[in-house]
Amino acid sequence: MGAVSYTLGGGLGILAREFGYAADHVRRLEVVTADGELRRVTPDSDPELYWALLGAGQNLGVVTELEIGLVPVRTLYGGSLAFDGRAVDPAALLRAYEAWTRTSPTLGSARAGGPPSDGLTSSFAAVPYPDLPALPPHLRGTYVVSIRVACTGADGDALVAPLREIGPVLSDSLREMPYAESHTIHSDPDFPHAYYGDSAVLRDLYVDGARAGELLRATGPEAGQMCVVQINHLGRALARPAPNAVPYREGRFLVRLLTVGDREGARAVLDPAFALLAGDSLGRSLNFAFGAGDRGTGLYDPDTRKRLARVKETCDPANLFRRNYGVSAPC
Ligand SMILES: Cc1cc2nc3c(=O)[nH]c(=O)nc-3n(C[C@H](O)[C@H](O)[C@H](O)COP(=O)(O)OP(=O)(O)OC[C@H]3O[C@@H](n4cnc5c(N)ncnc54)[C@H](O)[C@@H]3O)c2cc1C
């Protein structure tokens, strides 16, 4: 995954609720625009282009350099609690997780001198592994539901205590760790692979009643095509306004669905699942729109889209940078 396009698309990091989007930390960009000019763009030199590049830069030029402010993090508390999705009710787990996100800001105690614990970043995941020889034997044919957590400066064990009580766990990797080990929290594959995927930023998750069950049934082992569900808790630093075009900061959750296989099969799983969420969806997240076959509707709210179209008209009127989700078209 490229660090530049990750950042131009917002960049939702492992400690995102504590520190905000990666784009929020960019101080300066160097970009070659459609006229062939190399521009050094800062909030002072060209506030409008700076604003637009961070959120939609793929449409506006080739970014050749980024200067990013760093945050000092040596260690963090984090890991994953995995449950057997056939032994526990995944919908009940999702409801318990959602309820926990409402209480976690006040749980536990900030370590002396550390920041308050309400910057905890977490997500829910449900993965139905197919019964394929290519997979490790312990995963073949399993349905693993997990909650992933990361925070700094807090009494992590106290914060996650209610999660550990939800039910018997398959594995528990929650611990203090050096930042260099933080990639183990999500265990993303370190090799390229193909899939389709899409996302919905939700005002709220509203998983009371039947909805959690419907969503997980539509995407679970019986879905007909493998579908990975990831639900990120947003808010706090992600909700802070910033001078960039990363939209939907008011969203409380991000639902991401990934499928493998062909496009038609993918849509057959994704469309009904996202239809369940449509009423509460603010829009989609650019970094999690993986070739799901559309023109980019819903990636920006109407005001952001109009403002982006004005920047595009100024710096790329011939639409040279068009081989991605466009910002010229009305939403
Ligand atoms: C396993 C995995 C885990 C991920 N986890 C996260 C995550 O935790 N948080 C998150 O926010 N995202 C995550 N993503 C999404 C990722 O940030 C986006 O898919 C990103 O766009 C990937 O960039 P790329 O350069 O690899 O892809 P590409 O398809 O090569 O690029 C994506 C877009 O950026 C444009 N682009 C590339 N380089 C430049 C440049 N220098 N200047 C201008 N435009 C450019 C390309 O033209 C294209 O339109 C993940 C993706 C994967 C595959």
CATH topology of domain 3-71+295-315: 3.30.465
* pLDDT band at residue 294 using 50, 70 and 90 as cut-offs: low
* pLDDT band at residue 154 using 50, 70 and 90 as cut-offs: confident
Of 130, 140, 143, 127, residue with least CA distance to 230: 127
- pLDDT score recorded for residue 290: 87
- Residue 5 Cα to ligand 1 midpoint, Å, equals 4
**By alpha-carbon position, which residue is closest to atom 13 of ligand 1?**
287
Domain ranges across the chain: 3-71+295-315, 75-288
Decide: 329 and 300 in contact? Cβ < 8 Å. no
Distance CA 255, CA 263 (A): 19
Percentages helix, strand, coil for the chain, rounded to the nearest 5? 35, 25, 45
Pocket test for ligand 1, best of 6, 183, 259 (most atoms within 8 A of CB): 6
Shortest-distance atom of ligand 1 to CA 186 = 8
Pocket test for ligand 1, best of 5, 32, 41 (most atoms within 8 A of CB): 5
Distance CA 23, CA 324 (A): 19
List Cβ neighbours of 1 (8 Å cut-off, separation of 6 or more).
none
CA torsion sign for 192, 193, 197, 202 is: negative
List Cβ neighbours of 222 (8 Å cut-off, separation of 6 or more).
none
- Residue 2 Cα to ligand 1 midpoint, Å, equals 5
- Of the chain, the percentage scoring pLDDT greater than 90 comes to 75
Range of lowest pLDDT (235-244, 287-296, 312-321): 287-296
**By alpha-carbon position, which residue is closest to atom 25 of ligand 1?**
2
**By alpha-carbon position, which residue is closest to atom 46 of ligand 1?**
58
Q: Taking CB atoms and a 6 Å cutoff, what residues make up the pocket around ligand 1? A: 1-2, 4-6, 8-12, 57-58, 62-63, 188, 287, 324
Would you state the torsion angle of the CA atoms of residues 138, 89, 224, 226, taken in this order, to the nearest 10 degrees?
-50
Tens-digit pLDDT profile for residues 269-284: 999 999 999 999 999 9
* pLDDT band at residue 214 using 50, 70 and 90 as cut-offs: very high
CATH code for residues 75-288: 3.40.462.20
Tens-digit pLDDT profile for residues 37-69: 999 999 999 999 999 999 999 999 999 999 999
